[in-house]
Amino acid sequence: MEQTWRWWGPKDIISLAHVRQTGATGIVTALHDIPAGEVWTKEAIMERKRFIEDAPDLGLRWSVVESLPVAEPIKIGEGDLTELFDNYRESLRNLGACGVDTVCYNFMPVLDWARTDLAAPVAGGGRGLRFNQHEFAAFDCYILRRSGAEADYSEDVLRRAKVWFQSSDEEVRAKLLSNIMAGLPGAFDRYDVEGLKVILGRFKNVSTERLRENLKRFLDEVVPTAEEAGVRMAIHPDDPPWGLLGLPRIVGNEDDLAFIVGAHDSLSNGLTFCTGSLGANPKNDLPAMAARFAGRVNFVHLRNVTKDPDGSFAEAEHLGGDVDMVGVVSALLQEQKRRKDAGDPRWRLPFRPDHGHELLDDIGKPTHPGYPAIGRLRGLAEIRGVMTAVSQLQGLPV
């Protein structure tokens, strides 16, 4: 599997030289300065590609786009979408022409990943990301004051949410909003409470069924172009994999993935297999899902979570959580062998260590939440060890 690293562009405090020191050779990045819905020009793509690849001693390549964002009106199914679809198709053509041929995207309404604590303590003084169900409920019910929000939470969670809210002050509440908004990377908008109410209002008539219809329409519009451009798309699962703030989410379980891959029988309509996002759903059997959908996996995020009975979860050590990482890696290495034996020139699956704990002297550095260097380096090294062991024991290409 191709070892890659998410890099936030030329202003990232983790340099390309640092990335190469981790052992990664593939870069996962995006043109975050271009707003969702606008065209990625060949000139802009090549400028970033040259920046990554023009240092021959590093031997890096731009392996994966993460993400080419889908504009909110497409998810809503709102208004005349002709220009947005045209722009997305043009961006895919330009990426393919520039040799950047794997595109990760998501279809999560409003929020990308959501956490309530960006610095939850871990053993030895490190810090990690955590989603506390009662804190999110406190935000939803008492700060946002969304109508009908109480119906989405258990009595116990609501009780603890009320206690949390009553004991908090404005500074703590503002910090919670900031933490929840931190999952919107790059050029995406952040919302205050009133702004969040406005964008949620635009989704008020979008049910689970309608959001699925809108995703199907998106795939109908763009997958044929991706095929022509030689681009393999990879939808990212919802994080967490259930509805938030009254918004439906449709990429969170085995049935959802089956619907998506069934929408177009094409490797250009593929998946990002994220063990952290899917792993937060206690009903998901990750090794079984990896085996079932391996033929349509185009990109892999490997991280781990520990889950609580109330729906809360914490991001764990890469080999230390609830997810059977060895089982997942084994299924994906088996798929690599199948692709190689079939003569697929792009048989190696790109993967990256997703998120990581703040450890050692990374603690407190201004990295993107979840993306410190040392924690991800540790995760990459651990997964590299699993890959090496599995490949040797089973005779699989790594």
Catalytic residue list = 236, 274, 301, 354-355, 371
Distance of alpha carbon 362 from alpha carbon 339, whole angstroms: 38
Q: Which two tokens stand for residue 328?
A: 């997942």
Distance of alpha carbon 374 from alpha carbon 200, whole angstroms: 37
Distance of alpha carbon 19 from alpha carbon 11, whole angstroms: 14
8 A C-beta contact, residue 251 and residue 241: yes
8 A C-beta contact, residue 301 and residue 343: no
Distance of alpha carbon 312 from alpha carbon 130, whole angstroms: 8
CA angle 129-133-137, nearest 5°?
125
List, in order, residues 6 or more apart from 271 with CB less than 8 Å away: 234, 235, 257, 260, 261, 293, 296, 297, 298, 299
List, in order, residues 6 or more apart from 235 with CB less than 8 Å away: 104, 105, 106, 107, 251, 260, 270, 271, 272
Q: Which two tokens stand for residue 229?
A: 């451009």
Q: Which of 243, 127, 135 is nearest to 180 (CA)?
A: 135
8 A C-beta contact, residue 322 and residue 290: no
Distance of alpha carbon 328 from alpha carbon 239, whole angstroms: 19
